[in-house]
Structure 1
Amino acid sequence: MTTAHAASPALAGLRPFHGLPVVETAGLRREPGSPRPVFDQDVWDLTGLADAPVVMTAHRKILDFTAITNPRWRQVAREYLMARMAPLHPDVAILPQAFRFPLNPNSLWSELRHLALWFNHLTSVGITTLSQVCQRHCDVYLAAASRSATNPDRLLSPATTVARIRIPQFLSLYAEILSDCYQTGFSPWPGRSADEVTGYVRSDENRVLPVPDTLLRPLLANCLYLLETIGPLLAAEAAEARAADEHEIASRRGLLIREIDGLREAIERRRKTRTSAPRATKSTVTQRLKNGWSPSDPLLHMSWHPLVVEAAGAMGHRRDLETLRPELEQWVSECGLEQPWCRNAAQVPRHDDGTPVPWTLPMARHQLDATVHAVTSAAYFLTSALSGMRASELVELTSGCRQQEKRPGGAARYRLVSRRIKSEAFGGTEDAWVITEDVHRAIATAEALTGAAPGERLFAKASNNSNSRYTALRSWVNGEYGLRLGLDPIPDGPVNPRALRRTLAMTIAQRPHGLMAVKLHLKHVSVATAEGYAARPGGHQAAFAAEVAAEEEAEHLRLTVAAYEDYQRGILPSGQGARDLIAAFKAVDQALERHDAGPVTVIDDRRVERVLKVKAKTLHVGVGNYCWFSDPGKALCLKLAGTPNAAEPLMGLCDSARCPQATHHPQHRQIWADHVENTQSVFLGNPRLSKPERARAQAAFDRAARIVAEIDTAEHADEEPVHDA
């Protein structure tokens, strides 16, 4: 990672992002009328990002650079983050080691936190400019960053530390545009990645533990019961509660004198029908006692305001209550007090033995809200367990996301439309998940419980934290409500969408062709990811790996035969390895001629493949070339990497214009032609390009143009290819 840095941009007066709007410069969309942060501000307010996913919570949209003590480094932090967000900016695109993909805005908050840790550490040890930083300071920071801030005796995991170590290294990649940078030629921990520095070993193995069956069974059984039996009844009460809220909001006026008689009649009707008076909440009673109410007052525990709102559409005051006290006391003494919600609950069968019981006892409003949250959380976890959706995808579900498709024979297919957030561009990509009918009904119940308008998110209002949802659901099921309904207690243990997704993957993978089903259903990027989820080191996984290897071998043989047939037609390869490849093809001709009396004209395809099979085993396919890896000692990539005895080439380090085992063929021409055009327009056409960078770009342009010319001129079998020394 060592690089020769240019002179400090601060001295050169370079301020590439001065005065630019942050969101627009990064190529993002902003909601009309929302805050418009400018680069030079110490606080970037990104609350107006139009495509922000739910997982990008409110605090992650406020980037406060004042957390960095040194004002000089606040500017550096802004420059670095802006460069990461806008890699196509003219001053960033020409940086040779800069990242070419934009940083996801959801990661900005974490990156700023790590920048603050690094810069504030330097301030604490007396460093005032990055040019003073040496490797000793980096090693001291590593020791500090590896330990917990609250408990210095506790070492952090390498996975946590590696994120803190990357920042000092990444700053060296952007030295040319930073207003303060390291001394020329310095890079923290040169030649070592952050993983190597911290000892972090990455693995494809999925370490998330599946949910044990002893926990999963009662969880799913209780969720189904709550959604199918309790959900519809609870949804009706929730709808009435929302209507009451709207009525109360519209009733912010005082009770008129002429309305007293009407309110007196309403109280009398309730008394005659033996309707209990509504009970006040504990907080209301506590407040009344603080305001001087007598503990023996017969109206102390009666809720007064809901009655006035319902009967008169107004808000009653204490003086109105005193006016109607005789009627109210008679009502309370004859009919008693009862919680206002879920009265006269319908009978439902208990979950354990089917005995009919009221689905609930009368509830206070906060108890009703808690029950709605618990049953909505049941829909959340049932959907997670049976669909395998990630938490980021669950919270993107909206009212109206359900789709139903009639299939031939009368069957139906159900889908949920959400957005894939992980590994996608900022804002995600709309996608659909095939689900069971149980999930379809669960989402319908969640829509009814929340009263969400079409397009409004279902699981993001109350809490999008799966841990708090699980705690609420488990507490409700294991508490007095679940006990009355005969629900199975849910044992202690971690339950979250990641664990449920892993459990579903392992269940599907146990079926025939399950590994591919896991990949498709869970929308994994690769089968390797599905293998990690399914924990299948053998069986279908081994069979699939063997199939891939066989297909790869067959494709390499096909490409080798195609190159041989081009050679026969006079279309020669080019490149440093062309001479050896042509010699190998001539040897093939000779081998075939020994088996035929006449000239080589019509030869059986199988025989050609058998003769070329050994050569095909040396083929490795590059982006713009073929590598015939027959001699590791000749491989330029292995020499550059210092691993001359490797068994395979390092295609990521391939310089096919100089490697003696690389060849170019007609199918590679377009790749190199595009490289010529892009280098010409993006780099050589950029007037801001420095002389060293222009020289490097010109060399790349010349090399690509030469490769294109060689491919074009390699036309006849009797001509030797021309190479540059």
Structure 2
Amino acid sequence: MLFRVRDAAFCLVAALSMMRDSEIHEIRRGAVVQHYNAPAIKSTLDKGRAGRPGKHWWITEPVAEAITLAEIVSVHEDRVFSPLKRPESTEAVHGDQMIDAFITEANSSRSWTGLDEIPDGRVRPHMFRRTMAMLTDQFPGSEIALGIQLKHVAARALANRTTLSYAAGDAQWAELLETALEATRFRRFKDLYGQHKAGTSIGYGPGADRVKEVFDEIISSARANGGDSRVEDDLLRKARITIRFGMLNNCLFDEANPKGAVCLENAVIPQGHTGPLEGRCRPDRCRNSVIGIEHVPLYDSHRRTQLKLLQTRRLPAARKAIIRREVERVDAVLAQVNEENT
């Protein structure tokens, strides 16, 4: 059991921290610290720098918990993930062997865990590092953050060609990544369906009304056919709804029928671009916009901030005009919320 727990903890740290195999093995007891007011791992940089300097890698709470658990079960006096010897082997065990052992254990325990089988294939720590870099690159402005976390040596803000090569899509992995993203989107879409079925509001605006109509049709079809949740899942997958979940709204832009998308009005579309132009998004008047429950506090806070700015003394007239226009747009969004709640 001790080895199984260590293997699982190692896989989690390798998958979510973007650390190299050698850097994970250098983690010492008490390595989870606060770095710029965020949880981080303190370890040794083992590549590209003379003297093996100490560095910090930012982590999430699950990674911190995994390291804490690994410390408890570790038999080594200092290192948490140092190469160790197992009873049945005289050879030191390294990261790749820990991952293989974890996959074997996870697959052999499926009868009681209920987890999906991990398919055959070669899995190594650097693959986790690359995959996380590719996923992180989906967010705007991530290049510098990736360079810092990956510890790439560069003169330009710790982000160079090596960082870009890590984040660039891989032809062999692109299909798997897209499948994972589609699965995540479907889970969130299914959650919205569950909320609507339970009588809870899923959002506001013309886009939300379209989604509600589709959900009502699915509920009626499932009931008419005596269907269960599996039938509902099939109907949801077949629903003609393309949804993109965003920070300020959710977008129903349909590439097969882009008519009515405000972001494309009088716009110069870059060559090869598909989908909406997010920088031109107008949630206040686009028929594709869904203002979710989670978005309302953001708009309310933004409105109060803009009104406070208007009270600034000696504010230039042009600046006041821009702020008032922004308040009008926010008011138009919040009006959709107030209209449904009245």
- What is the TM-score when the length of structure 1 is the normalising length? 0.26
Q: Counterpart of 1:626 in structure 2: which amino acid? A: N
Matched ranges for 1:77-116 at <5 A: none
Q: 1:388 to 1:678 in 2, by over 3 A?
A: farther
Identity rate, percent: 21
Q: Give the match for residue 101 of structure 2.
A: none
Q: Give the match for residue 303 of structure 2.
A: 676
Q: Give the match for residue 190 of structure 2.
A: 561
Q: Counterpart of 1:574 in structure 2: which amino acid? A: Y
Structure 1 residue 576 corresponds to structure 2 residue 203:
no
**CA-CA distance at 1:395 after TM superposition:** 11
Matched ranges for 1:113-192 at <5 A: none
The answer to whether the 8 Å contact 2:243/2:250 transfers is yes
**SS of match in other structure, 1:705:** helix
Q: Which runs of 5+ in 2 are unaligned?
A: 1-43, 56-70, 84-121, 134-146, 152-158
In structure 1, what is the Cα distance between the partners aligned to 2:203 and 2:73?
54
**CA offset digits 1:564-612 (Å, max 9, x no partner):** 334341526322323433332333234324313xxxxxx6333222212
Q: 1:387 to 1:690 in 2, by over 3 A?
A: same
In structure 2, what is the Cα distance between the partners aligned to 1:536 and 1:572?
34
Q: 1:535 to 1:656 in 2, by over 3 A?
A: closer
In structure 2, what is the Cα distance between the partners aligned to 1:621 and 1:679?
25
**CA-CA distance at 1:711 after TM superposition:** 2.3
Q: Give the match for residue 591 of structure 1.
A: 221
2:124 is matched with which residue: 503, 512, 518? 512
**SS of match in other structure, 1:577:** helix
**CA-CA distance at 1:694 after TM superposition:** 1.2
Q: 1:686 to 1:590 in 2, by over 3 A?
A: same
- Work out the number of aligned pairs and report it: 222
1:626 is matched with which residue: 230, 234, 250? 250
Q: 1:669 to 1:563 in 2, by over 3 A?
A: same
Q: Give the match for residue 268 of structure 2.
A: 642
In structure 2, what is the Cα distance between the partners aligned to 1:655 and 1:522?
34
Q: What is the root-mean-square deviation in Å for CA atoms of aligned residues? A: 4.5
**CA-CA distance at 1:621 after TM superposition:** 1.5
Q: Give the match for residue 165 of structure 2.
A: 532
**CA-CA distance at 1:657 after TM superposition:** 1.0
The answer to whether the 8 Å contact 2:249/2:289 transfers is yes
**CA-CA distance at 1:712 after TM superposition:** 4.5
- What is the TM-score when the length of structure 2 is the normalising length? 0.51
**CA-CA distance at 1:435 after TM superposition:** 10
Q: 1:628 to 1:694 in 2, by over 3 A?
A: same
**CA-CA distance at 1:659 after TM superposition:** 1.1
The answer to whether the 8 Å contact 1:628/1:662 transfers is yes
The answer to whether the 8 Å contact 2:207/2:288 transfers is yes
In structure 1, what is the Cα distance between the partners aligned to 2:251 and 2:167?
35
In structure 2, what is the Cα distance between the partners aligned to 1:604 and 1:574?
28
**CA-CA distance at 1:406 after TM superposition:** 11
1:410 is matched with which residue: 56, 59, 76? 76
Q: 1:435 to 1:689 in 2, by over 3 A?
A: farther
Q: 1:413 to 1:633 in 2, by over 3 A?
A: same
In structure 2, what is the Cα distance between the partners aligned to 1:634 and 1:387?
54
The answer to whether the 8 Å contact 1:556/1:617 transfers is no
Matched ranges for 1:415-564 at <5 A: 512-517=124-129, 523-524=149-150, 532-533=165-166, 537=170, 542-543=172-173, 545-564=174-193
Structure 1 residue 690 corresponds to structure 2 residue 323:
no
**CA-CA distance at 1:410 after TM superposition:** 3.3
Q: Larger relative contact order (C-alpha < 8 A, sep ≥ 6)? A: 2
Q: Give the match for residue 288 of structure 2.
A: 661
The answer to whether the 8 Å contact 1:389/1:522 transfers is no
In structure 1, what is the Cα distance between the partners aligned to 2:239 and 2:150?
35
The answer to whether the 8 Å contact 1:627/1:662 transfers is yes
The answer to whether the 8 Å contact 2:248/2:291 transfers is yes
**CA-CA distance at 1:559 after TM superposition:** 2.4
Q: 1:643 to 1:590 in 2, by over 3 A?
A: farther
**CA-CA distance at 1:676 after TM superposition:** 1.1
The answer to whether the 8 Å contact 1:575/1:664 transfers is yes
In structure 1, what is the Cα distance between the partners aligned to 2:168 and 2:201?
48
In structure 2, what is the Cα distance between the partners aligned to 1:512 and 1:634?
47
The answer to whether the 8 Å contact 2:76/2:82 transfers is no
Q: Give the match for residue 326 of structure 2.
A: 700
**CA-CA distance at 1:516 after TM superposition:** 1.9
